[in-house]
Amino acid sequence: MADERKTEWKTLSGIDIPRTFSSVDTPAGQPPYTAGIHETMYRSRLWTMRQYAGFSSAKETNERFKLLLDRGQKGLSVAFDLPTQLGLDADDELSIGEVGKVGVSISTLDDMRELFAGIPLDKVSTSMTINAPAMILLGMYIVVAEEQGVPPNKIRGTIQNDILKEYMARGTYVFPPDESMRLITDIFSYCSEQVPLWNTISISGYHIREAGCTATQEVAFTLSSALNYADAAIKSGLHIDQFAPRLSFFFNCHNDFFEEVAKFRAARKLWHDLVDTRYDSSNPKSKKLRFHTQVAGVSLTAQQPLNNISRVTIQALAAVCGGTQSLHTNSYDEAIGLPTEDSATIALRTQQIIAEESGAADVIDPLGGSHYVEYLTAKIYDEALSMIKDIDSKGGAMEAIKEGWQQRQIHNSAYSHLKDVESGKRKIVGVNHGVMGQETPIKAMKLDDKLGETQRNKLASIRERRNNDSVVNALEKITNAAEKNENLFPLVLDAIRCECTLGEIMQAMKEKFGTWMAPSGF
């Protein structure tokens, strides 16, 4: 049993808080992990408070990282701008007007160096929300860590790397499905040997929930994608226990408090049961669903934005009661603009208050045994499993996506919700209920309008100084290997060390992989 954070556990009134309850059939840390994946949960270690941040230049984002770390954040979470997410350099003509707008602009190894300057990469865990170019951004991170004296086997963190949900809902995919899967399994294989503490994928329900699906669909579509990744990795020659312990998941958390708690409990049990019945796994870690949670950005309103603090608190508390391993709390002003220092700090303080003042972190699976929560857990489990079987009958997640099946389900759920809000059947405070004539003024954060020009100049300088013969040679090796059964990760690392840019490495892959347009579902 892990050491606990306190020597005694009592309520404010001095009532003893037991570690476990005799009425619990299966305690936390025991299969199927409904109550939690660790025996003592937050009594031993709190969840990682990981605020999502990234805007404008690497320098400005680095300053925000340091501010949040100074104020008690325990892990970093990087938001990249749209060009970076699509594997485009900041000087690409398609990047004009988007550089640094919804995240940090990273085109080169120099940018990555600046992003983590003064932050010891052996001391923090870093999550990167990146998908199609995930291999390249992780490669840059590895090289920066090496320059700090930190070997690859010592760095910890996560790349999102979940391309199926991009096809389903989010849209920042680049390559066709089979080629995208090849990149993902290359990452699995390379990291299992060279970067063993890194979570090689974060299979994400968050974005499909933001697009409008229900809680049950979120569980079903996310776990179905996970099965597809597992099958692809096994087909490539890996054993389930080589990569499954480093799979992580990423869920949304909405306002329906009890449903969200039950959703997390059901997802844990369902993942255990799916791996247990489908794969030859002897490592218990392969069957443990570890997940990060972000509260629901789509639930935040531009009307009466201070109300969002209450929404975020309810959602964060549900994530904690549901047993999340890490948590991001949105800032109340995100429906208006990028979070300011003040709003980001309030979001972090919300987590700290839940952790230290609410008592929720003192109890393992605090709502387990509730008639209502157990009922919802069972219902979500059964309905999600039924949907997974429907997807299996279509050939699995990828084949169902190709025909637009999940997309149609998401669209239909989103439309149904919108109709309920517009008719007043579902009330949203500040939008169709409790409406006020005068709104609280919120100061939006301003970005540097000249950032695009600055980044273009930096790229020109790098291309001037580097050895372009080495660049051409490194890129040709990637293109040639793309049509062979050769792991691309070592070649991408070589290209990064030669100062090849993000866009150039992506283009070297496009020469053989091509690009793709997913069906919308209509």
* Domain coverage including residue 225: 41-423
Residues 88-114: b if buried by 16+ CB within 10 A, e if exposed: bbbbbeebeebbbbebbbbbbbbbbbb
pLDDT at 410 over 60: yes
Task: Quote the CA–CA distance of 260 and 227 in Å, as a whole number.
Answer: 22
For range 305-310, the mean pLDDT:
96
Q: For position 337, what pLDDT does the model report? A: 86
**Which pLDDT belongs to residue 445?**
66
Cβ atoms < 10 Å from Cβ of 179: 19
Q: With respect to residue 518, please indicate whether it lies within any of the assigned structural domains.
A: no
Lowest model confidence (mean pLDDT) among 72-76, 169-173, 450-454, 508-512: 72-76
C-alpha to C-alpha distance for 339 and 60, rounded to whole angstroms:
13
In the predicted structure, residue 90 carries a pLDDT above the cut 80:
yes
pTM of the model: 0.93
Q: What DSSP letter does each residue of 389-404 carry, written as one string? A: HHHHHTTSHHHHHHTT
Residue 175 pLDDT more than 90? yes
Q: Is 478:453 a contact under the CB 8 Å cutoff?
A: no
Q: How long a stretch of residues is the chain?
A: 522
Residue 444: per-residue pLDDT:
65
> Closest Cα partner for 135 from 376, 519, 482, 396?
482
Tell me what the mean pLDDT of segment 34-52 comes to.
93
Mean pLDDT of 177-189: 96
Q: What is the pLDDT of residue 192?
A: 94
Q: Distance between CA 93 and CA 414 in Å, rounded? A: 34
Confidence (pLDDT) at 153: 97
Confidence bin at 54 (pLDDT 50/70/90): confident
What six digits make up the tokens of 434?
């409790």
| Torsions phi, psi for 76 (to 5 deg) | -100, 150
User: Quick check: is 475 in a domain?
Assistant: no
Spatial CA neighbour of 75 closest among 55, 103, 53: 53
Confidence band, pLDDT 50/70/90 cuts, at residue 158: very high
Q: Residue 30 pLDDT > 90, yes or no? A: yes
| 416 found inside a domain | yes
Residue 217 counted as domain residue: yes
Look at residues 425, 435, 169, 416 and name the one whose alpha carbon lies nearest to residue 301.
Answer: 435
Q: Please report where in the chains the tokens 């052996």 appear, as a residue.
A: 122
Beta strands in 138-272 (DSSP E): 156-159, 198-199, 201-204, 247-253
Going from the C-alpha of 75 to that of each of 128, 146, 197, 433, the distances in angstroms are: 11, 19, 15, 37
What pLDDT sits at residue 522? 57
Per-residue pLDDT at 233 exceeds 90: yes
The yes-or-no verdict on residue 1 having pLDDT over 70 is no
Task: Note whether residue 504 is domain-resident.
Answer: no
**CA 275, CA 282: separation in Å to the nearest integer?**
10
Separation of alpha carbons 18 and 24, rounded Å: 12
Residue from 111, 102, 50, 58 nearest 76 by CA: 50
| Gap between the Cα atoms of 374 and 408, Å rounded | 30
* 111: nearest Cα among 60, 75, 174: 60
| Cβ contact 372:257 at 8 Å | no
- Examine residue 4 and state whether it is found in any structural domain, yes or no: no
Please give the tally of structural domains in the chain: 1
- When pLDDT is averaged across residues 108-116 and rounded to a whole number, the result is 98
HEC assignment per residue over 229-254 = HHHHHHHCCCCHHHHHHHEEEEEEEC
Instruction: Name the CA radius of gyration of the chain, rounded.
Output: 23
d(CA 34, CA 21): 15
Please check whether residue 490 lies inside any domain of the structure: no
Cβ(128)–Cβ(169) under 8 Å? no
Q: What is the CATH number of the domain that holds 148?
A: 3.20.20.240
Query: Does residue 467 belong to any structural domain of this protein?
Result: no
